[in-house]
Structure 1
Amino acid sequence: MRSYVSEFVGTALLLAIVAGSGFMGESLGAGNAAVALLGNSIATGAGLYALIVLLGPVSGAHFNPVVTLMFWKLGHLNLKKMLGYWACQFTGAIVGIWLTHLMFSLPIIQESTKVRTGLGIWASEFISTLVLLAVIHIGDKEAKDKVPMLVALTVTAGYWFTSSTFFANPSVALARSLTNTFVGIAPSDVLGFVIAEVLAALVMIGISPSSKQKS
């Protein structure tokens, strides 16, 4: 149960950090998108590092369905736990968005109008997810104690070198469709992101050696 709570709370806090810092950055930056993105990326990287360090020993600090899928394939958890993690990640992500709206006195229920679609964006999400999963997979094998830093820095950099701003997470994509703030994505564009992310996960799984599933 502690691991499920960890995934729920961690994903909720991650989304609150992403959405809250995006809203704050846009507000304080007086509409300057570069300033908003800078604040958004730094806060996300810093928050993600803290969450992984604190919650990693409890649940693995996945906070991401495709990360959980990869670790299931590698035998780190069984099917039941994978499905439980998915439920916690998706619900936690939505709660995190709602908490942000509450903190900033915004309407709790929203729908984004920000268009994020097209071949370049989809390719960006595919590459983003592949990079993230590769960093986690290689780091888990070769530099386990440095994984929190590696993931945090990869995500921070990803905000700037990808056209999609490095969602790389289906639960994040879905939850961000429920906020019409700086980090939002139009609901109609979510499917393209999720397909690209899942395809990248399948590629990573296909090239990763499998191990016996834990029961």
Structure 2
Amino acid sequence: MTPESPESTKDVVMDQPLGRKLVAEYLGSLLLAALVIGSGIAAQRLSPGDTGLQLTENAAATAAGLFTIILMFGPVSGAHFNPVVSFVDAAFGGLPWRHAFAYLPVQVVGCVSGAVLANLMFSASAVSISTTHRATFAHGLSEVVATVGLVLVIFSLARSGRADRAPAAVGAYIGAAYWFTSSTSFANPAITVGRMFSDTFAGIAPSSAPVFIATQVVGGGLALLLVRALYPGIKPAQAAEVVVPHAAASSAR
């Protein structure tokens, strides 16, 4: 099967009603959380006592799965699954602000639903609040770096006419960032909230989540400035091709 051309993908996404986009963002966020948490549970059970191997398994499954779900839902919603990406996209003129605000709660609810689904798939309690504390300076700094990198990957490709490579690049970056950041690269406020609801390998304690979310927002803001500095003079229509191409003229239905 050959991929669609950027022009045809633009047209497909532009024509999607908001309701359909929200369904895609919900399902994509659900699968993202189920992927991250489920693979973490499997790794913990299959490789007990070997944290390095558990992280390798979790990172590999996340990288491959993220690539796939972006391809799956990208032509419908742009495959954000992340409020930071949605709001940076809106700031560049690629997504109407009304859509960005509508995406946010759907992404959060989707990630929480995915955590519940992952727990149930492994015969655990549907909801178990995580006790893994991660709120240190090193973790916060890691989340700034992870989020800056993620946003730079997406928008540098979009602004240089290589948006079709974003699904693979995003998966590869997140897989690598599991290892080069001490926080294991959440880089996403919605997944941070979702991971609070699973007391497993991939979980985060509610007391640590505000630090992660705040630093992710800071990282998104810094990345916005860096993209503007590195890729100046790009028209909004060009800036809008995020994750998979879509048009700034998208209907605000």
Question: Which bin holds the TM-score, normalised by the shorter protein?
Answer: over 0.9
Residue 205 of structure 1: how far off its partner (Å): 2.3
Number of the residue aligned with 2:26:
8
TM-score, length of structure 1 as denominator length: 0.96
Does the alignment pair 1:158 with 2:195? no
Number of the residue aligned with 2:218:
199
Number of the residue aligned with 2:67:
49
Number of the residue aligned with 1:182:
201
Greater than 6 Å deviation, 4+ residue runs:
none
Cα shift readout 1:93-139 (whole Å, capped 9, x = no counterpart):
00000001111111112111111011111000000000000000001
Cα shift readout 1:173-196 (whole Å, capped 9, x = no counterpart):
111111100001110000000010
Gaps of 5+ in 2: 1-18, 229-234, 238-247
Gaps of 5+ in 1: none
* SS of residue matched to 1:188: coil
| Equivalent residue letter for 1:110 | S
Partners of 1:30 and 1:211 lie apart in 2 by 49
Residue 141 of structure 1: how far off its partner (Å): 2.1
Aligned residues of 2:152 and 2:227 also touching (Cα < 8 A): no
Partners of 2:167 and 2:189 lie apart in 1 by 20
Partners of 2:47 and 2:61 lie apart in 1 by 15
Number of the residue aligned with 2:89:
71
Structure with the higher fraction of residues in helix conformation = 1
| Equivalent residue letter for 2:77 | S
Flag the structure with larger Rg. 2
Number of the residue aligned with 2:186:
167
Q: What is the aligned counterpart of 1:94 among 85, 109, 112? A: 112
Partners of 2:191 and 2:52 lie apart in 1 by 21
* SS of residue matched to 1:105: coil
How many residue pairs get matched? 215
Aligned residues of 1:73 and 1:211 also touching (Cα < 8 A): no
Number of the residue aligned with 1:132:
150
Cα shift readout 1:56-112 (whole Å, capped 9, x = no counterpart):
111100000000011000111112111111111000000000001111111112111
Partners of 1:110 and 1:128 lie apart in 2 by 26
Cα shift readout 1:15-35 (whole Å, capped 9, x = no counterpart):
000000000001000231111
Residue 207 of structure 1: how far off its partner (Å): 3.9
Partners of 1:200 and 1:152 lie apart in 2 by 19
Number of the residue aligned with 2:130:
112
Partners of 2:157 and 2:227 lie apart in 1 by 13
TM-score, length of structure 2 as denominator length: 0.82
Partners of 1:208 and 1:21 lie apart in 2 by 33
Q: Percent identity?
A: 36
Partners of 1:170 and 1:100 lie apart in 2 by 19
